Amino acid sequence: MTAETISLSMAEPDIAVLTFDTPKKGANVLSNSVLDELARHLDALEQRTDLSGLIFCSAKPGIFIAGADLREFVQSLGVAREQVIAMCRRGQVLFGRLAKMPFVTVAAINGICVGGGAELASWCDRRLFSNNRKAEFGFPEVKLGLFPGWGGTVRAPRIAGLGNAVEMVTGGESLSAETAYKMGWASDVVPDDQLLAAAIRLVRTEQTNQEYLNDRKRWTGPILITETELGFLGATASAVIRQQTKGQYPAPDAALETMLESSLLDADAACELEAARMAKLFGSPVNAALLNVFFLTDRNKKDTGIDGKQVEPRPINSVTVIGAGIMGSGIAAANVKRGIAVALTDASHESLVKGGRNVLEEASFDRETKGPNAQRMLELAPLLNLTTSEQEFAASDLVIEAVVENEKVKQSIYAQLESQLGPDTILASNTSTIPITKLAASLKRPDKFCGIHFFNPVRRMKLVEVIRGEKTSDETIATAVAYAKGVGKFPIVMNDGPGFLVNRLLFPYMHEAVELLCEGAEIKAIERASKSFGMPMGPIELYDLVGIDTAVYAGQTMFEAFPDRVISSALLPAMVQANRLGKKTGRGFYSYDNKKGRPEVDASLAEIIAPHIRKQRDFSLDELTMRLFLPMFLEATRVLEDEIVRDPRDIDLGLIFGLGFPPFKGGLMFWADTLGAATIVEMLKPFESLGDRMSPTKLLLEMAAGGEKFYK
Give me Rg for the CA atoms of the chain: 28
Mark residue 323 as left, alpha or beta (left: phi above 0; alpha: psi -120 to 50; beta: remaining): left
How many residues make up the chain in this entry? Answer: 712
Distances (CA, A) of 257 to 135, 170, 284, 502: 29, 10, 18, 38
DSSP class of 315: P
| Residue 237 φ then ψ, to 5° | -65, -40
DSSP 339-358: T-EEEEE-S-HHHHHHHHHH
The angle that helices 539-546 and 502-518 make with each other, rounded to 10 degrees, is 120
DSSP 634-681: HHHHHHHHTTSSS-HHHHHHHHHHHT---GGGT-HHHHHHHH-HHHHH
DSSP class of 50: S
| Residue 88 φ then ψ, to 5° | -65, -45
Cβ distance 204 to 242 under 8 Å?
no
Provide the 3-class DSSP secondary structure of residue 103: coil
Cβ distance 128 to 190 under 8 Å?
yes
Cβ distance 150 to 98 under 8 Å?
no
Burial 667-700 (b: 16+ CB within 10 A, else e): bbbbbbbeeebbebeebbeebeebeebbebbebb
The helix/strand count (H/E) of the chain reads as 31, 20
Q: Catalytic: 41?
A: no
Burial class, 340, CB count within 10 angstroms (exposed 0-12 / middle 13-18 / buried 19+): buried
**670/711 Cα distance (integer angstroms):** 7
| Residue 699 φ then ψ, to 5° | -60, -45
Cβ distance 656 to 671 under 8 Å?
no
Residues whose CB is less than 8 angstroms from the CB of residue 671 and which lie 6 or more positions away in sequence, other chains included = 289, 665
Residues whose CB is less than 8 angstroms from the CB of residue 485 and which lie 6 or more positions away in sequence, other chains included = 301, 491
**316/314 Cα distance (integer angstroms):** 6
Which one is catalytic: 41, 349, 453, 511?
A: 453
**149/76 Cα distance (integer angstroms):** 15
Amino acid identity of residue 155, one-letter, is R
Residue 102's CB is within 10 A of a number of other CB atoms, namely 11
Provide the 3-class DSSP secondary structure of residue 275: helix
**22/20 Cα distance (integer angstroms):** 6
**194/203 Cα distance (integer angstroms):** 14
Mark residue 303 as left, alpha or beta (left: phi above 0; alpha: psi -120 to 50; beta: remaining): beta
Cβ distance 487 to 334 under 8 Å?
yes
Give 3-state DSSP helix, strand, coil % of the chain, rounded to 5. Answer: 55, 15, 35
Cis before 457 (ω within 30): yes
DSSP 558-623: HHHH-TTT----SHHHHHHHTT--BGGGTBSSSB--STT---B--TTHHHHHGGG--------HHH
Distances (CA, A) of 418 to 195, 256, 480: 51, 58, 18
Catalytic residue list: 453
